[in-house]
Chain A
């Protein structure tokens, strides 16, 4: 097992540094009283003077920039991301409440779109140049062109508004008092459309990458070796070509995760799904700046962590990697 490479560690450090400096510097670059620029005019109006004084003290907002920086990091260590005036609660707590919903949505769609994309890519690449391959390619590329929020809107209109078979909004039926199996079913019903939208919108990435790799892999001499061994088509397709074609997909999942966050944001808004995306949207609407900053930091950390995991698993999939480095 390979440890975190120096190169990747540096990448993660730079990414984190960029986000932190953005969070710290951006509001302080704005003209005006730091408390106001960090929390926004709307927030100040609603905050009690005690709370305002408390925040100024907590983040050393009346001190020099360096002391503010020290206080900022000290707070980060305590898990203190500031205060949300709109939810009237610490930002960290607000985000933590929404995080599971987003993880569920992103996890399901990432898994579904990757697995489906890889399988379709392998099948399509195997049939390269045939009519099936060409129509799959055109179809998925077209699908790739549809923005995820528009896919969501269309699904919402078709299944929610016209057919009325699936719920329009939320993550579960409010005040229904459901429990056990019925609750799970209710949540799945609410998840169906958002997950489908995201999966459809991201299917093409995995598909296109797998298909392209598949086409080059099929020309490799070891495929001729495998055919000469008289192996069945299934083995040729999946054990020999497919395994090799999957490799770049794995490298990309980390990056796709970042992109999926964008998609989730839009899709959550379309379906009023109570995850981080919808939270960000609400925060934007109500100018609850502290929440946006917190979401940015937390999502960045999560994406970096996921990338790290992908890095680790890659060396297990491709023996050449651990050897080469």
Chain B
């Protein structure tokens, strides 16, 4: 499977849109201190201000600058998304390849656990654990990673299994190649694109879950999050402040998830070459 990922992504218009939108949000997050103007945590007496030049999105019920909260929220989303993406993908890669390469009882037990984790409603587990632990950002990242690798492990295993059977690997074996050589020259390079797609999708799920958990009140109290903004704004939905308080955070969150979806989808031909040339059209 030799696919040029870059080409797949940049040759589809949703892919290009995804990259562009994602880049904008990354820039917002990187330059948050410059863009914010106010400390997003700092409260003031000026509550419920309408948008103005000094407060582009007005202020909230405790007088915090909403624009500042929004750009700092991007940091949290991306940080959680990328960390969980990396950790889960790493877990998926380790579990998936080891199951495929070792096989036997180990493989069947691991895969049954994977199947079990796939059917368990993860969100309630998270809520339960969070209720007991009262988590900060890092515990949220670890929890989301621990509960987010199972789908990827299944895909990685399937791919590694078929790779193991493939003729170029068999050929390398017939020249006397050892396991390490096989991993380095044949398995890992071929798994690479799949892991990248898996990373993109776990990142997407993590961004969504982080916001969702914050929305229902499970979040790091010291960090700004789009979910928190939305929860607080929801309580005042009867006031006409939602247009600049609630919607921007929701749109930003949706834009981030949509952009990641588009990037991931445009990479999908990597997973299923049969879709090539049609899905990305």
Write the residues of chain A forming the contact surface with B, with a CB cutoff of 8 angstroms: 7-8, 10-12, 14-15, 18-19, 22-23, 26-27, 30, 37, 128-129, 134, 137-138, 141-142, 144-147, 149-150, 153-154, 156-157, 161, 208, 212, 215-216, 219, 254-255, 258, 261-262, 265-266, 269-270, 280-281, 284-285, 287, 289, 292-293, 295-296, 299-300, 303-304, 307
A115 CB to nearest chain B CB (Å):
22
Contact of A18 among B117, B254, B258 (CB under 8 A): B117
Interface members, chain B 225-274 (any A CB < 8 Å): 230, 234, 237-238, 242, 246-247, 250, 253-255, 257-262, 265, 272, 274
B170 at the interface (CB under 8 A from A): no
Give the segment of B42-50, B61-69, B136-144, B207-215 that binds chain A. B207-215
Query: Which residues of the partner chain B approach A30 to less than 8 Å between Cβ atoms?
Result: 132
Query: Which residues of the partner chain A approach B258 to less than 8 Å between Cβ atoms?
Result: 141-142, 144-146
CB atoms of B212 and A262 under 8 A apart? yes
Contact of B112 among A7, A138, A292 (CB under 8 A): A7
CB atoms of B237 and A292 under 8 A apart? no
Query: Which residues of the partner chain A approach B14 to less than 8 Å between Cβ atoms?
Result: 137-138, 141
Residue of B nearest to A293 (CB): B128
A161 and B132 in contact, given A10-B112, A292-B124, A304-B119 (Cβ under 8 angstroms): no
Q: Determine which residue in B115, B246, B259, B275 has the highest number of CB atoms from chain A within 10 A of its CB, and name it.
A: B115
Residue of B nearest to A270 (CB): B234
B135 CB to nearest chain A CB (Å):
13
A292 and B215 in contact, given A161-B238, A215-B274 (Cβ under 8 angstroms): no
With A and B bound together, what is the CA distance between A303 and B117 in angstroms? 12
Contact-residue bracket for chain B: 35 or more
CB atoms of B123 and A265 under 8 A apart? yes
A303 and B121 in contact, given A147-B253, A150-B250, A153-B246 (Cβ under 8 angstroms): yes
CB atoms of A212 and B261 under 8 A apart? no
Q: Tell me the interface secondary structure of chain A in the complex.
A: helix
Query: Which residues of the partner chain A approach B130 to less than 8 Å between Cβ atoms?
Result: 284
A258 and B121 in contact, given A26-B132, A212-B279, A284-B216 (Cβ under 8 angstroms): yes
What are 12 residue pairs bridging A and B, where the CB atoms are less than 8 Å apart in the complex?
A: A30-B132, A137-B14, A145-B260, A153-B250, A216-B275, A254-B119, A255-B118, A261-B124, A270-B234, A284-B127, A299-B121, A303-B119
Contact of A296 among B13, B124, B132, B255 (CB under 8 A): B124
CB atoms of B254 and A129 under 8 A apart? no
Query: Which residues of the partner chain A approach B259 to less than 8 Å between Cβ atoms?
Result: 145
With A and B bound together, what is the CA distance between A262 and B281 in angstroms? 32
Query: Which residues of the partner chain A approach B246 to less than 8 Å between Cβ atoms?
Result: 153, 157
B1 at the interface (CB under 8 A from A): no
With A and B bound together, what is the CA distance between A318 and B216 in angstroms? 41
A15-B120, A258-B120, A284-B216 given; 11 more Cβ-contact pairs under 8 Å? A11-B112, A15-B116, A26-B128, A134-B281, A137-B279, A146-B258, A154-B250, A262-B121, A262-B212, A284-B130, A292-B127
A157 CB to nearest chain B CB (Å):
6
CB atoms of B129 and A26 under 8 A apart? yes
With A and B bound together, what is the CA distance between A134 and B234 in angstroms? 35
Write the residues of chain B forming the contact surface with A, with a CB cutoff of 8 angstroms: 13-14, 112-113, 115-125, 127-132, 208, 211-212, 215-218, 230, 234, 237-238, 242, 246-247, 250, 253-255, 257-262, 265, 272, 274-275, 278-279, 281
With A and B bound together, what is the CA distance between A270 and B258 in angstroms? 21
Query: Which residues of the partner chain B approach A296 to less than 8 Å between Cβ atoms?
Result: 121, 124-125, 128
Contact of A280 among B112, B124, B230 (CB under 8 A): B124
With A and B bound together, what is the CA distance between A295 and B262 in angstroms? 35
Query: Which residues of the partner chain B approach A149 to less than 8 Å between Cβ atoms?
Result: 212, 215, 230
With A and B bound together, what is the CA distance between A129 and B230 in angstroms? 38
Query: Which residues of the partner chain A approach B279 to less than 8 Å between Cβ atoms?
Result: 137, 212, 215
Contact of B119 among A37, A208, A307 (CB under 8 A): A307
Residue of B nearest to A211 (CB): B279
CB atoms of B132 and A27 under 8 A apart? yes
Query: Which residues of the partner chain A approach B261 to less than 8 Å between Cβ atoms?
Result: 141-142, 144-145
A266 and B116 in contact, given A146-B258, A293-B128, A296-B121 (Cβ under 8 angstroms): no
A22 and B121 in contact, given A157-B237, A216-B274, A266-B215 (Cβ under 8 angstroms): no
Contact of A157 among B120, B132, B242, B265 (CB under 8 A): B242
A35 CB to nearest chain B CB (Å):
15
A280 CB to nearest chain B CB (Å):
6
A147 and B254 in contact, given A161-B237, A269-B216 (Cβ under 8 angstroms): yes
With A and B bound together, what is the CA distance between A128 and B250 in angstroms? 32
CB atoms of B253 and A150 under 8 A apart? yes
B195 CB to nearest chain A CB (Å):
20
With A and B bound together, what is the CA distance between A255 and B119 in angstroms? 6
Query: Which residues of the partner chain B approach A18 to less than 8 Å between Cβ atoms?
Result: 113, 116-117, 120
With A and B bound together, what is the CA distance between A293 and B259 in angstroms? 36
With A and B bound together, what is the CA distance between A147 and B230 in angstroms? 12
With A and B bound together, what is the CA distance between A23 and B132 in angstroms? 11
